Amino acid sequence: MSIDIPRTEFLLHEVVRAHARSAPDHVALIFRDKQYDWGSLQAAIEGVARGLAGAGVVRGSRVAVLDRNSDHYILLYYALASLGAALCPINMWLRAGEVAYIIRNCRPTLLVTSDEFRPLAEQALADVERKPRIISRGEVRAGELSWNDIADGPERMLPQPLSWDDTHMILHTSGTTGRPKGVAISHRRTVVDGMCAAASVNPRRTDRFYSFTPLFHTGAWDWMKLFITQRASVVLADRFDALAAIDEIERHRCTYTLVLPVVMREMLDHPAFDKADFSSMRMVAYASQDPSNLLHEVFRRFEARGARNLRAVYPYGMTEAGPFVTIAQPHESAAHPDSIGTLVAGVEMALLDDDLNEVAIGEVGEVCVRGATLMTEYIDNPEATDEAFRGGWLHTGDLARQVEDGFFKVVDRKKDMIRSAGENVFAKEVEQVVVQHPSIRECAVIGLPDIDYGERVVACVVATSGFDDEADVIGFVRKRIAGFKTPKQVVFLQELPHTPVGKIAKAVLRDMLKPGKAA
C-alpha cells in the first residue's frame, strides 16, 4: 500500500499566508500612511496575483520593475512568487543603455514603472526589440495597463510554483565580463537563507525594521525577509532622507535598521537627530564595512537619545551566495578586529587555492561556498554558471584567511570588483566608458578606502598632452553609466604601471595612492 506523503517544501509566499492565518491583526507593513496587517497584506497579494494572471502571467513568466520602493513593489514580489513567476527588479540609477541591456537579458512580459521613471523606461525600450507591456503606476497610455486594474483582479484559476526550486526573482549583478548577469533566486534559497540567518540576527516578533534600501538590491529583500519570517513588522521608505528616517524611526518605534556609513553620517549630522527619541532602537546592521570607525560615535549619539543597549552586526555575503554567509556580532569585534565573523548556520564555506585544495588555517584562499542558500544559475549563461560553480563550490572571488575560533578575515579580492556604498562596481565596465573620452588614452579603475562609501571608485588615467580636467571626465562618464559607478576621483598620470607581461599593475596603483603617498 502506498502512502501519499505531504509536500514539506515551504514556499516564499506561504510565509505571509501562514502569518495571515495565525495573526491576521498583527501589523505587517507600514508604507507612508498605509498600514497592512497580515490579513490585509495577504488579501492584497491575492488580488494582485489574480490581476497578473489576467494580464497573462503564467508559471515561468518574468515581470520587471523600474520604480522606487512602495507597498505595491512588496505586493508584486509575493504575488509573482505565488504564481511561480519571477520578479526582475531594475536599478533605477542606471542609464537607458544599461536598462535596455537588462530588459533584453531577462525578457520580461510586463514592466511596472511610474511617471517618475517613464522617460527612462521609454528611452530604454526604444532600443529593445521584444518590448514588455507596461503596467503604469501613473498616467496610462494606449496599450498599457493601470496598476489599479492589476491590484484587485477577479476570481480565476491561478498558476502555481511547481516546487521550491522555481525561480521567484532575478537580480542583475556585474561579473567578469563587465556586463551584468541575471542571478536566478529560488524559493529554496530565500526561505532557507531567511530561516538560517534569523538564528544569528535574532529578530523578535515585536521588532519593527526600518527599510529604505532600494528594492532592486538583494540587501533590501534579504533583510526584510528575516523580520517577515519571524512575523515582525517592516516600515518601508521609498528612499533615504535623513529627516524622514529620523522621524519615521521615532514615530513608528522602529527597533532595527540596515545602513551604510554615509547614510548614518547624514542622520547624525542632521539637526533633528539631537531632538529625537530613539529609545526603541536596539540594533543597527551595516551593509558595508566601516573604515571610519563611525560606530563608536553611533553608539554614543544613539545612547544619548535613549537607545541604552544598541548593538550592531555586519554580514558578509553576495548576491550569488546569499547575503548571510558570515555575520560579525558586536560582542566579538573587539577580540577580532576587521573580521567578517563566523559562519551562519546552514552555510558551508572553504578557503581554496587555485587547484581547489583547502588551505591551512592562517593561509589565504578564495572564499568558496556551498549549500541551499546559493543562486540557481546565471540565466541563459551556462558557461558563466559552470565557471562560478567550479568543483562544486560557488567561487566568490574574495580572498580570506581563517584566524582563530572559526573567525574569518577578508584580505583582498581575486575579482576586479569595487564595493562602493553597498553596490558592486566592476572596474572593466567603468574603464570601457572612461576610455571613450576623446582626451583619455589609457585608464585603470581601482577602489580606494573611503570613510563614507567603504570604497570609492578612482580612475587612474593617461591623457593627451595638457589635458587634466577631472570634472570633465567625471561628467562624461556620469552621462553614460550610473552615478554609483562613476569615478569620484580622477588621477592623471604620465603612464600606468605594468607587470612584466604587460598587464596594468593595479596593486601598484593602490599602493601609490594610499593616504600619505603622492601619485
pLDDT, mean of residues 170-176: 76
The confidence band for 382, taking pLDDT boundaries of 50, 70 and 90, is very high
- Global pTM? 0.85
- Maximal CA-CA distance, the chain: 87
Percent of the chain with pLDDT strictly greater than 90: 66
The three three-digit cell numbers of residue 268, written as one number = 547624525
Note whether 30 and 131 are same-domain residues.
yes
Domain end, chosen from 274, 309, 344, is at 309
Note whether 152 and 50 are same-domain residues.
yes
Q: Quick check: 176 pLDDT over 60?
A: no
CATH number at residue 19: 3.40.50.12780
pLDDT, mean of residues 20-40: 97
499 found inside a domain: yes
Note whether 98 and 211 are same-domain residues.
no
Note whether 151 and 54 are same-domain residues.
yes
Q: Quick check: 371 and 193 in contact, CB under 8 A?
A: no
Note whether 104 and 224 are same-domain residues.
no
What is residue 358's DSSP assignment? B
Model confidence over 44-65: pLDDT tens digits? Answer: 999 999 999 999 999 999 999 9
Distance CA 393, CA 367 (A): 9
Strand partners, 233: 208
132 found inside a domain: yes
447 found inside a domain: yes
Note whether 48 and 144 are same-domain residues.
yes
Domain of residue 463 covers 417-512
23 found inside a domain: yes
Note whether 157 and 17 are same-domain residues.
yes
Note whether 99 and 156 are same-domain residues.
yes
193 found inside a domain: no
Distance CA 67, CA 89 (A): 8
Q: Establish how many alpha carbons lie within 13 A of residue 500's alpha carbon, considering only the half-sphere containing its beta carbon.
A: 0
Domain count, the chain: 3
Averaged pLDDT score across all residues of the chain? 90
Give how far Cα 452 sits from Cα of 113, 231, 280, 350, 476, Å. 31, 33, 26, 31, 24
Note whether 218 and 269 are same-domain residues.
yes
Instruction: Report the pLDDT value the prediction gives residue 410, as an integer from 0 to 100.
Output: 83
pLDDT, mean of residues 247-265: 92
Note whether 148 and 209 are same-domain residues.
no
pLDDT, mean of residues 376-402: 94
**Range of lowest pLDDT (139-153, 231-245, 282-296):** 282-296
173 found inside a domain: no
- DSSP, residue by residue, 149-195: HHHTPPP------SSTTSEEEEEEE--TTSS-EEEEEEHHHHHHHHH
171 found inside a domain: no
Sign of the CA dihedral with 263 first, then 268, 272, and 275 last: positive
Note whether 224 and 273 are same-domain residues.
yes
Model confidence over 312-367: pLDDT tens digits? Answer: 888 888 899 988 999 887 677 667 767 888 999 888 999 999 899 999 998 889 99
Q: Quick check: 133 pLDDT over 70?
A: yes
Domain end, chosen from 309, 325, 359, is at 309
The confidence band for 293, taking pLDDT boundaries of 50, 70 and 90, is low
Q: Which residue reads 574569518 in cell numbers? A: 408
CATH number at residue 250: 3.40.50.980
- Which range, 150-159, 171-180, 467-476, has the best average confidence (pLDDT)? 467-476
CATH number at residue 434: 3.30.300.30
Note whether 141 and 227 are same-domain residues.
no
Domain end, chosen from 255, 285, 309, is at 309
174 found inside a domain: no
pLDDT, mean of residues 147-161: 90
